[in-house]
Amino acid sequence: MKKQEDLTREQSEAPEGGLSRRRFMGAAAIAGVAGATGLGSAVMSREAFAAAAEEARNKFVIHPGELDEYYGFWSGGHQGEVRVLGVPSMRELMRIPVFNVDSATGWGLTNESKDVLGRDKTYLNGDCHHPHISMTDGRYDGKYLFINDKANTRVARIRLDIMKTDKITHIPNVQAIHGLRLQKVPKTNYVFCNAEFVIPQPNDGSEYSLEKSYTMFNALDAETMEVAWQVIVDGNLDNTDADYTGKYAASTCYNSEKAVDLAGTMRNDRDWVVVFNVERIEAAVKAGKFKTIGDSKVPVVDGRHGSDLTRYIPVPKNPHGLNTSPDGKYFVANGKLSPTVSIIAIDKLDDLFDDKIGERDPVVGEPELGLGPLHTTYDGRGNAYTTLFIDSQVCKWNIADAIKHYNGEKVNYIRQKLDVHYQPGHNHASLTESRDADGKWLVVLSKFSKDRFLPVGPLHPENDQLIDISGEEMKLVHDGPTYAEPHDCILVRRDQIKTKKIWERNDPFFASAVEQAKKDGVTLEADNKVIRDGNKVRVYMTSVAPQYGMTEFKVKEGDEVTVYVSNQDTIEDVSHGFCMVNHGVSMEISPQQTSSVTFTAGKPGVYWYYCNWFCHALHMEMGGRMIVEKA
Ligand code: K7E
Ligand code: CUA
Ligand code: CA
């Protein structure tokens, strides 16, 4: 057993930003725990010391067999998926394919996924940044998670009861959906999302000039996933957030210059935050004060300068993240090229829209935090945490003090700056985007890992760091390498999400299979049947570990074959797969699920199919043969 002096020395000997556990076990932490357990400050017994150290360690270590307190949903960036982590252990629990193709589950291969992606799916990639969970009255309701696709201008929805993507909408008239947030109050009726790049309207080759190019703020109906309306704006759009009244949403614009070159986008000292008046926009749409563009039927309203639907608040300079404080009082715009963030008072926006105050008057604070502020998150105790990309730090600051300072009082609003490794983009505190912000954990998504992990060639992982923010001081407790490129994550309490353990037989996710089976007179959970319909063949097959209901079926070369596999197992965790060798076919079939895949039968011969999700001691034996005869 080590004495406290030894540990303290070890800590001071650790390299700068070195082993986090040692640092965490430093004297301050131990004294804090000792105080809290009433052990007094004089001499600690060896046992008491060990117990205190153990307690401190246990705070973030989840022992084998124990469950995490939070779900974390990580965007997969240009990898195109969403990842589910347990926090604070930072263990990856699941991957949810969204815009990507996934060999294990067959996402992008199965008919069910193609129904979501579009049967004529042509994109194999996506670029998702901003995962957000649906809310009721400003609290996560655990129903859906929404995420953007910058690469191909889409928005996806994930059903959190089954953790599968169930809808994807392509947004018309715009390019590159970036910032995405949800209406918080009264509930998530709208998904708000920003299209980043300006394009001609319509973009049909009749116009190419930048002057006549615009981008739009978009609102989707969260249930139907149809685009409800679009708002043309000046400049471009980056990130966005909504307020806690349901009335306003706000977005940052870094390219008020509408430049194409880097120097041009940095010309203005101030760009702006554009505020959208949701009530007025809805009224304008209702009153028919909109146009449509090209083939799209979506109502498009004009929110450029001079419109009564929007207001433009000048803020410095190429701002990036925009984050609503959990008390509902402020939008904070992060300056990026300015060392400041701008605090916008939401209760002044009514006056701004009624032209009772000036365009900069809602800015009630502009604290200087450091170099490259990108995103801000909150602990629910009045403190904000802003990532400083260039400084490689997180800055903890106090909102009330920053406002006092802006009003001329001599107060220090900065509470702490903590080194992170390295160059952080988003950060996210537990429950920070809801009224329940609990100030326990902070995840910092560092874009560079440099020397933090074993080298793996020129392409490095990123580094998602976990920071304990429950006390006065931020403490770095965990490094987590991640693959390209989680821009953002969201933490939600584990009791706020209810997942199904097995599928329901009539789940809408595979409704088209159920419908087709009905037409064919097939009972999915019982029948094994081959139905020929011209050159289309439908193969219905059951599966119970470790057997398919059919070990052989015959088709002809060039047939369009659809295989429906229904999993009859009712035991949790017994998922089967279906892989047809040499046909590019693979899919997951979990308990009580039906999955289907359509492919063209290859050259005459014998092709084995097998189960590729390990389900039983005799899993290797679970297979069969497709006999392809000459046409
Ligand atoms: Cu990378 Cu939110 Cu797309 Cu900032 S965004 S870092
Ligand atoms: Cu069924 Cu493996
Ligand atoms: Ca700019």
The predicted structure's pLDDT at residue 34: 37
Is residue 441 predicted with pLDDT exceeding 50? Answer: yes
130 annotated ligand-binding residue: yes
The predicted structure's pLDDT at residue 6: 41
For residue 49, what pLDDT band results from cuts at 50, 70 and 90?
confident
Q: What is the mean pLDDT of the chain?
A: 93
Share of the chain above pLDDT 70, in %: 92
Q: Which part of the chain is CATH 2.60.40.420?
A: 510-629
The predicted structure's pLDDT at residue 71: 98
Query: Residue range 196-212: average pLDDT?
Result: 96
Could you give the CA distance from residue 177 to residue 197 in angstroms, rounded to a whole number?
A: 9
Is residue 532 predicted with pLDDT exceeding 50? Answer: yes
- What is the CB neighbour count within 10 angstroms for residue 520? 14
Could you give the CA distance from residue 238 to residue 509 in angstroms, rounded to a whole number?
A: 33
Are residues 333 and 340 in contact, defined by beta-carbon separation less than 8 angstroms? no
Domain 510-629 class, CATH top level: mainly beta
In 3D space, the residue among 558, 387, 366 whose CA is nearest the CA of residue 464 turns out to be: 387
Could you give the CA distance from residue 311 to residue 250 in angstroms, rounded to a whole number?
A: 9
The predicted structure's pLDDT at residue 44: 67
Distance of CA 322 from the midpoint of ligand 1 (Å): 10
Could you read off the pLDDT of 62-121 as tens digits, one per residue?
Answer: 999 999 999 999 999 999 999 999 999 999 999 999 999 999 999 999 999 999 999 877
For residue 60, what pLDDT band results from cuts at 50, 70 and 90?
confident
Contact 254 CB / ligand 2 (< 6 Å): no
Q: In 504-600, where does DSSP find H-type helix?
A: 511-519
For residue 565, what pLDDT band results from cuts at 50, 70 and 90?
very high
For residue 221, what pLDDT band results from cuts at 50, 70 and 90?
very high
Could you give the CA distance from residue 489 to residue 565 in angstroms, rounded to a whole number?
A: 34
Contact 611 CB / ligand 2 (< 6 Å): yes
The closest ligand to the CA of 256 turns out to be: 3
The predicted structure's pLDDT at residue 17: 36
Strand ranges in 183-212 using DSSP code E only, listed in sequence order: 190-197, 199-200
For residue 122, what pLDDT band results from cuts at 50, 70 and 90?
confident
Is residue 8 predicted with pLDDT exceeding 60? Answer: no
The closest ligand to the CA of 334 turns out to be: 1
Distance of CA 547 from the midpoint of ligand 2 (Å): 7
Is residue 33 predicted with pLDDT exceeding 80? Answer: no
Could you give the CA distance from residue 9 to residue 23 in angstroms, rounded to a whole number?
A: 11
Is residue 499 predicted with pLDDT exceeding 90? Answer: yes
Could you give the CA distance from residue 153 to residue 172 in angstroms, rounded to a whole number?
A: 8
Q: What values do phi and psi take at 166, rounded to 5? A: -120, -10
Distance of CA 81 from the midpoint of ligand 2 (Å): 25
For residue 43, what pLDDT band results from cuts at 50, 70 and 90?
low
Is residue 53 predicted with pLDDT exceeding 50? Answer: yes
78 annotated ligand-binding residue: no
For residue 47, what pLDDT band results from cuts at 50, 70 and 90?
confident
The predicted structure's pLDDT at residue 16: 39
Is residue 161 predicted with pLDDT exceeding 50? Answer: yes
Distance of CA 618 from the midpoint of ligand 2 (Å): 8
For residue 4, what pLDDT band results from cuts at 50, 70 and 90?
very low
Could you read off the pLDDT of 224-251 as tens digits, one per residue?
Answer: 999 999 999 999 999 999 999 999 999 9
- What is the 3 state secondary structure string of 412-480? CCEEEEEECCCCEEEEEECCCCCCCCCCCEEEEEECCCCCCCCCCCCCCCEEEEEEECCCCCCEEEEEE
Q: Work out whether strand 310-316 and strand 383-388 pair parallel, antiparallel, or are unpaired.
A: unpaired
The predicted structure's pLDDT at residue 54: 67
Is residue 10 predicted with pLDDT exceeding 60? Answer: no
The predicted structure's pLDDT at residue 36: 39
